[in-house]
Copies of this chain bind each other. A is one copy, B any other.
Amino acid sequence: MTGGDTDAPASPARTIPPRELSVWALPGIPEIAAGDNLVALILAAAAARPLMDGDILVVTSKIVSKAEGRLVRAEDREAAISAETARVVATRNGTRIVENRLGIVGAAAGVDASNVPAGTVLLLPEDPDRSARILAAGIRAAGPHIGVILSDTIGRPWREGQTDIAIGAAGVRVFDELEGTPDSAGRPLAVTRPCLADEIAAAGDLVKGKTFGLPVAVVRGYADAVGPLDLPGARSIIRTSETDMFRFGSDEAYAAGFAAGLNAVADTESSRS
């Protein structure tokens, strides 16, 4: 098994040149306000170390929301969460896990009260894939053929803490399609479909951090993931309800089952009498 010789004869494993990623945050992006031109601000921030074809920008969705004027008064926080909620998945001790209108399952529907002025909350972009496309198209028009991922921070059901995921994507493959690719023993890798976009979002978070005023990361070295702007966006990462084994919290599903069990007996009783 070798790691690098791309001139070697075809082997059962895919021969991909070993890659090296460089990941850094763009310095000097100011606090963003509604109407700000993110393309211009990002290009200015990248001036000292220009973007190159094949770079992937990981943009904290929060600054896109701010530029798009998605800040609302904090008095409306609960109403804002409800408006962004497609359905409640589970609730416990004041935490509401919901599926938001984008299909993303998480706490508070992505309504954010951190890093915004007191008295306000920030909603997610209206359509993060569209926002990513607009950003990517604007930057590509200025030169470099880059991809854009909009990231957000989200919890996980069985693991403590949060990681960043992709909630929007443009011009970048969101999955590494390995299905059917032979593994190193020559057998097909049946179910492996790494979510590149989420892994790139996570890598970007490592240099952006949450509190440092560094909302845009550059990931250089994965140019083979960068492609046309009409590649499927982050919406394609959302699992459909047909394959969702955790559509409701355990307590919620149990309670619904319990009520149905009671009713089933009542129905039998009433049909007997």
Residues of A in contact with B (beta carbons under 8 Å apart):
1-4, 13-16, 18-31, 90, 92, 95, 97, 99, 104-105, 114-118, 153, 156-165, 174-176, 178, 181-185, 187, 189-190, 192-196, 198-200, 202-203, 205-207, 209-214, 221-222, 236-239, 244-266
- Given A193-B162, A260-B261: A212 touches B16 (CB 8 Å cut-off): yes
- Given A153-B194, A253-B253: A160 touches B237 (CB 8 Å cut-off): yes
| Copies of this chain present | 2
- Residue A181 contacts which of B30, B157, B211 (CB distance < 8 angstroms)? B211
A236 nearest in chain B by CB position: B160
Query: Which of chain B's residues have a CB closer than 8 A to the CB of A18?
Result: 24-25, 27, 207, 212, 214
Q: In whole Å, how far is A258's beta carbon from the nearest beta carbon of chain B?
A: 4
Residue of A1, A198, A259 contacting most chain B CB atoms (<10 Å):
A1
Pair B200/A206 contact, Cβ less than 8 Å? yes
Query: Which of chain B's residues have a CB closer than 8 A to the CB of A29?
Result: 1, 3
- Residue A21 contacts which of B1, B21, B27, B198 (CB distance < 8 angstroms)? B21
Pair B161/A23 contact, Cβ less than 8 Å? no
Q: In whole Å, how far is A133's beta carbon from the nearest beta carbon of chain B?
A: 20
Query: Which of chain B's residues have a CB closer than 8 A to the CB of A30?
Result: 1
A104 nearest in chain B by CB position: B158
Pair B258/A212 contact, Cβ less than 8 Å? no
Query: Which of chain B's residues have a CB closer than 8 A to the CB of A248?
Result: 250, 253-254
Pair A157/B114 contact, Cβ less than 8 Å? no
- Given A24-B19, A175-B161: A250 touches B258 (CB 8 Å cut-off): no
A105 nearest in chain B by CB position: B158
Closest A-B pairs by Cβ, 10 of them: A261-B261, A257-B257, A3-B27, A161-B195, A1-B213, A253-B253, A254-B257, A257-B258, A202-B202, A203-B203
A209 nearest in chain B by CB position: B16
Q: In whole Å, how far is A42's beta carbon from the nearest beta carbon of chain B?
A: 13
19 further A-B contacts with Cβ under 8 Å, apart from A18-B25, A114-B187, A192-B210, are A2-B28, A90-B245, A90-B246, A92-B245, A114-B183, A114-B190, A153-B194, A157-B157, A158-B238, A161-B193, A161-B194, A161-B198, A162-B195, A164-B194, A199-B206, A207-B221, A250-B250, A254-B254, A259-B261
